[in-house]
Amino acid sequence: MKFSLPIFFLTMVSLMNGCGDSNRDYGSELYTKHCANCHGIQGQGLQDLYPPLKGADYLIENQRDLSCLILYGIEGEIVVNGRSFNEKMPSIPHLSHVDLTNIINYISKNIEPSVNRVTLKTVKNRIYDCK
Amino acid sequence: MRTILSISLIIILTSCDSEKSVLPILGQHDYETRTEAGKTISDTIHYTVPDFSFLGHRSVEINNNTIAGKVTIVDFFFTTCPTICPVMSRNMKKISQEFLGKKNLAMLSFSIDAIHDSIPVLNKYASKLNVENENWHFLVCEKKKTFELAKGFMISAAEDKNAPGGLIHSGAFILLDGQQRIRAYYDGTKEEDVDKAIADIKTLLDEI
């Protein structure tokens, strides 16, 4: 095999990135990018437009469906902690199973502890079921 | 006879200002020179935002007269925008609560989505945001005029099929003084910037 300088460099760069990335909190990045706009950094919600995630009975009771809800969005009236919400949450179809796992575990750790941690396998199964 | 010198200055030096103020006056300036008793005097003509007349979510027409003599904070948004708008609305709401009952501050949120954001839709949006400030108006007008107006505020707003929600726009909050001159821009998605805006509004309110 011929030694290729560009490929060598690319490999080095990706390796270096790999090292730098090991401490990245993907869950936090994904939550900030995809959820915090509407639901707030602390999951506090926004008035009667966007429901809270923190302490949200709806989320806690329907946590089995969370992967599907994030992937496909939700619309129509729902009641969260006795308050009614009726706006459209858009689907985020390009999220991978790994992304979903990271988001849910971020919520479990930082926003609503009554949401149980999930494994990649459970997320995959649940996505399979909601299709 | 008057000679009008047009000088393009995008960012203005406070040293040119005749009045003392903490916030610069932004936009292109013109200078008008006149001769008075053998002396050449030059007056600065500041950029002011263009005239507009839009319908507000309370079904009242809102135009330049509505904000004349008031400090005004402006943003461009649309109700179904999934990205920055919810944060902007959250932050506008914060400002609106800070200045509850202050008649000298007007707040204008222009929707750039004339097709979806009808007056009833804007009205519902405002009520779901629990807007209490009577001087905060959500406005809509035909698309072309809205995009034109955005240009007049020197920010971008346009259609873009690839953007989430089909529209792209700046997340800026624009601060106007009582003469409808642009005094500052803020990133409406950043909390630090919003706190700065609140402080600057207080400064401008003292000016009028």
Do A46 and B86 make contact, defined as CB atoms within 8 angstroms?
yes
A48 touches chain B (CB under 8 A): yes
Question: What ipTM was estimated for this complex?
Answer: 0.76
**A80 Cβ under 8 Å from any chain B Cβ:** no
Q: What is the mean pLDDT of chain B?
A: 88
Q: What is the pLDDT along chain A (131 residues), one digit of tens a residue?
A: 455 655 555 555 444 444 445 567 899 999 999 999 999 999 999 999 999 999 999 999 999 999 999 999 999 999 999 999 999 999 999 999 999 999 999 999 999 999 999 999 999 999 998 86
The CATH topology of domain A25-130 is: Cytochrome Bc1 Complex; Chain D, domain 2 (1.10.760)
Residue of B nearest to A34 (CA): B83
**What residue of B is the nearest CA neighbor of A90?**
B82
Is the CB of B84 less than 8 angstroms away from the CB of A48? no
Closest CA to B23 of B150, B208, B187, B189: B208
Q: Above 90 in pLDDT, residue B22? A: no
**B-chain residue closest to A38, CA distance:** B86
Cite the DSSP H helix spans in chain A: 5-21, 26-34, 36-39, 57-61, 66-72, 97-106, 120-130
B84/A37 touch (CB, cutoff 8 Å), yes or no:
yes
Of A48, A50, A88, the CB nearest to B86: A50
Scanning every residue of chain A, which has its alpha carbon at the shortest distance from the alpha carbon of B129? A47
Extents of the domains making up chain A: 25-130
Read off the pLDDT of residues B165-174 as tens digits, 9 standing for 90 and up: 888 888 999 9
Residue B185: strand pairing partners: B174
Q: Which domains does chain B have, with CATH numbers?
A: 48-207 (3.40.30.10)
In the prediction, which pLDDT does A4 show? 60
Q: CB A49 to CB B83 under 8 A?
A: no
What tokens were used for B176? 């106007």
Long-range CB contact pairs, B94-97, < 8 A, 24+:
B94/B194, B94/B198, B95/B173, B95/B194, B95/B197, B95/B198, B95/B201, B96/B131, B96/B132, B96/B133, B96/B135, B96/B136, B97/B132, B97/B133
Whole-prediction pTM value? 0.82
CB contact at 8 A, B194 and B94: yes
pLDDT in tens, B57-113: 999 999 999 999 999 999 999 999 888 999 999 999 999 999 999 999 999 999 999
Cα-atom radius of gyration of chain A, to the nearest Å?
A: 18
Q: What is the pLDDT of residue A19?
A: 45
CA separation for the pair B3, B45 (Å, rounded): 13
> CA B182 to CA B177: how far, in whole Å?
7
> Cβ of A42 under 8 Å from any chain B Cβ?
no
